[in-house]
Amino acid sequence: MKKTGIWLDKNKALIVTLQNEKEILNTITSNIEHFRPHGGSGSRQKGGPQDVVQDGKYLEREKHQLKEYFKEIISEIKDTEALVIFGPAGTNEKLGKELQHNHSDLSTKIKGIRKADSMTSNQVKALVKDFFTSN
């Protein structure tokens, strides 16, 4: 049985595959830009000139970049039989929603979506092993 655990944030995904007592670690890096608005043009005076920050434009770009990132991850896990998703922020939940909405065959294989802080690759391997041995 092929079991897969994914730890991901907006920068990278660590995919651990457990099959036939072997573990394989694959890393996928994202191309998501980090949006940091810079408002104001140096003038601190009341009523002084201000820059307009186009939030919507950046958020829309980030949404498309997330979709591409998830597409890459999904291509790696498409033949798994059990799946668990870990991550420190909302990215793990967004991947879970993407699977539910657009990949129902994979969403039925999700055994859990859990919060997990930043980890080393060895910690991710141990976390995935522990999850599948206890569940």
Question: For 75-100, how does the pLDDT look when each residue is reduced to its tens digit (9 = 90+)?
Answer: 999 999 999 999 988 899 999 999 99
**Residue 44 per-residue DSSP state:** -
Q: Please report, for the chain, the start and end positions of each structural domain, with discontinuous segments joined by +.
A: 3-37+56-134
Architecture of domain 3-37+56-134: 2-Layer Sandwich (3.30)
Report the run of H or E that residue 134 belongs to, with start and end: helix 121-134
Under a CB-based contact definition with an 8 Å cutoff, are residues 116 and 127 in contact? Answer: yes
pTM exceeding the 0.85 threshold for the entire prediction: no
Contacts 24+ apart (CB under 8 A), 62-69: 62/32, 62/33, 62/35, 65/30, 65/31, 65/32, 65/33, 66/10, 66/30, 66/32, 66/91, 66/94, 67/98, 68/31, 69/13, 69/28, 69/30, 69/31, 69/32
Query: What is the band of 25 on the pLDDT scale with cuts at 50, 70, 90?
Result: very high
Q: What is the pLDDT of residue 65?
A: 93
